[in-house]
Chains A and B, each alone.
Chain A
Amino acid sequence: MSANNASDLPKVSDRLAYNAMRNWKEKLIEAILLGAAAISVLTTLGIVYVLVSESYSFFQNVSIIDFLTDTQWTPLFDDAHFGIMVLISGTLVSSGVALLLAIPMGTIIAIYLSEFANPKVREMAKPILELLGGIPTIVFGYFALLVVTPILQFFLPSLPGFSLLSAGIVMGVMIVPYIASLSEDAMRAVPMSMREGAYAMGSTKLYTAIHVVVPAAISGLAASYILGISRAVGETMILAVAAGMQPNLTWNPMEPAATITSFIVQVALGDLPHGSIGYQTIFAAGLTLLMITLLFNILGQWLRAKYRENY
């Protein structure tokens, strides 16, 4: 045991060198994984490229100032106006209605499932809740048009057949499961020791849930809300079916209006010549939508970084 000079000891690399196959396998697997990751990244980049390049041609014809400030949206008329605010207002109002319903309801369901429900109820309720998220949105759309709108009209006789309100409410119901499920995961991830600390101070279940568990899970809750916002802003079929498709600059949910997405559906269904200004508006509208979602995602990232749990 006298030879303990570093040079006398076998090097780690000597002992591993005989198994060169392993290195090749590792590299191959790494390449496959990278390829899989690259596909989704490249798809995203491709979409962004198409949106930006087509929008670029669009903005050769229409000034950005007009695009953002004009109060009419009539891209297919002879007297064409391209005021995107008309569509943004529809999108924001319907999303606002949806989130006003989905965020409180989703959070309350999550609090119930994570803090109050006994395990049996939770095991039953969660899959049913998630099933609700699996219903095709076209079904929700007709549900809004044929069931929810008539019911709302019973209480609000002035409500038109198509309205942002009815579409927004059903969209909210559609989003509830996403928010509830993700929020419940976030709250259940709060360590039991935190709850025990609260109970040991003499707090009730409800007080613990509201004052300790919710603040501890806040970044997860914020993430679920952001996902909900993205779903609402990007939702298409419910709005196309139940909110009417006429462009209408309004902040009143009791009116019908087109949103960015329902406009895209409407135009994409007709046959517009490739390269025409009408065709390009689809991409300008799509880019706007992407920007809005991106904005909320960045906001979500920022919130998450700011309120990161440190337990």
Chain B
Amino acid sequence: MQIHDTPALKAEARNLNFYYSEKQALKSINMPIYDKKVTALIGPSGCGKSTYLRSFNRMHDLYPGNRYEGEIRFFPDNTNLLSPDVDPIEVRMRIGMVFQKPNPFPKTIFENVAYGLRVRGENNKRTLDDKVEHALKGAAIWDEVKDRLQDMAPNLSGGQQQRLCIARALATDPELLLFDEPTSALDPIATGAIEELVHELKKRVTILIVTHNMQQAARVSDYTAYMYLGEMIEFGKTDQIFIKPNDKRTEDYITGRMG
């Protein structure tokens, strides 16, 4: 693994283990997340890639019986995101997330995007207007919705809903954006729009994306990690992983012999 121009670290998993009650779902994961780069997580169903992704914003804290071991260091302040002393709400304010199935709130388009700002106590009309517009533009959906910001968000099409969810996450300027198979419920055109958006967004924010679609990983990511049965099998630059993987298991998965 030769990486000469190693970019700055945004986060790093160190010896990360994760347990759903008794069942171990992640096995000593070590992996860097580079700043303002797109990192893709690939692997067969049940390999733990979503579990890993959801550790970053402490989503597992919502359910009883889940347990973390090890660390996820978050930079530049070198916080351990998993430390019991760190408030998960604090973590989620710094890390945005876009889910598999678009999940807009039953509110207007405007209020959906303003949600995170309101959670943070922002109620100034001017500021909200500005930030909502900025976020909607950032998510490439402004032109489609600018004349109907007061419409209910669930009335949008699936692809629009997903871009709205991206705008909702962007509105609060997160440092890291987590995407959990963001296009698996979308048609190819909407998928294309989201992929283009991911490409555009990495100028502003670090992105970690779980995908089942290897072409998608190859198209959008700078780095790729292959996971299998809760282990990190291989991590490297996307080109290297797809053209010349070091591990036989990675090669088998990528060439479609397994998974």
Report Cα–Cα, A180/B172, bound state, in Å: 35
Q: Which of A201, A216, A310 contacts B115 (CB 8 A)?
A: A201
Task: Other than A202-B119, A203-B89, give 6 A-B pairs with Cβ distance below 8 A.
Answer: A118-B64, A194-B103, A201-B115, A201-B119, A310-B106, A311-B106
Q: Which residues of A32-60 have CB atoms within 8 Å of chain B's CB atoms?
A: none
Q: Report the contact-size class of chain B (Cβ under 8 Å from the partner).
A: 20 to 34
Q: Which residues of B contact A127 (CB under 8 A)?
A: none
A197 contacts B105, C-beta separation under 8 Å:
yes
Q: Which residues of B contact A193 (CB under 8 A)?
A: 99, 101, 103
A207 close to chain B: CB less than 8 A: yes
Given A193-B101, A309-B106, A200:B92 Cβ within 8 A: yes
Report Cα–Cα, A199/B64, bound state, in Å: 15
Q: Which residues of B contact A203 (CB under 8 A)?
A: 89, 115, 119
A200 contacts B105, C-beta separation under 8 Å:
no
A196 close to chain B: CB less than 8 A: yes
A202 contacts B106, C-beta separation under 8 Å:
no
Contact with B along A184-224 (1 / 0, CB 8 A): 00000001011111111111100100011001101000000
Report Cα–Cα, A74/B165, bound state, in Å: 64
B106 contacts A216, C-beta separation under 8 Å:
yes
The interface of chain B, by Cβ under 8 A from chain A, is 57, 59, 62, 64, 89-90, 92-93, 96-97, 99, 101, 103-107, 115-116, 118-120, 154-155, 165, 168-169, 172
A202 contacts B120, C-beta separation under 8 Å:
yes
Q: Which residues of B contact A198 (CB under 8 A)?
A: 105, 115
Given A196-B62, A310-B154, A201:B92 Cβ within 8 A: yes
Q: Which residues of B contact A212 (CB under 8 A)?
A: 105-106
* Distance from A206 Cβ to chain B, minimum over Cβ atoms (Å): 11
B103 contacts A204, C-beta separation under 8 Å:
no
Q: Which residues of B contact A199 (CB under 8 A)?
A: 59, 62, 92
Report Cα–Cα, A218/B64, bound state, in Å: 28
Q: Which of B64, B107, B116 contacts A201 (CB 8 A)?
A: B116
Q: Which of A200, A211, A310, A311 contacts B59 (CB 8 A)?
A: A200
* Distance from A82 Cβ to chain B, minimum over Cβ atoms (Å): 47
A200 contacts B106, C-beta separation under 8 Å:
no
Contact with B along A285-311 (1 / 0, CB 8 A): 000000000000000000000000111
B96 contacts A200, C-beta separation under 8 Å:
yes
Report Cα–Cα, A216/B59, bound state, in Å: 21
Nearest 7 pairs between A and B by C-beta? A202-B93, A200-B97, A197-B103, A202-B92, A310-B154, A201-B116, A193-B103
Q: Which residues of A contact B59 (CB under 8 A)?
A: 196, 199-200
Q: Quick one: closest A residue to B89, CB to CB?
A: A202
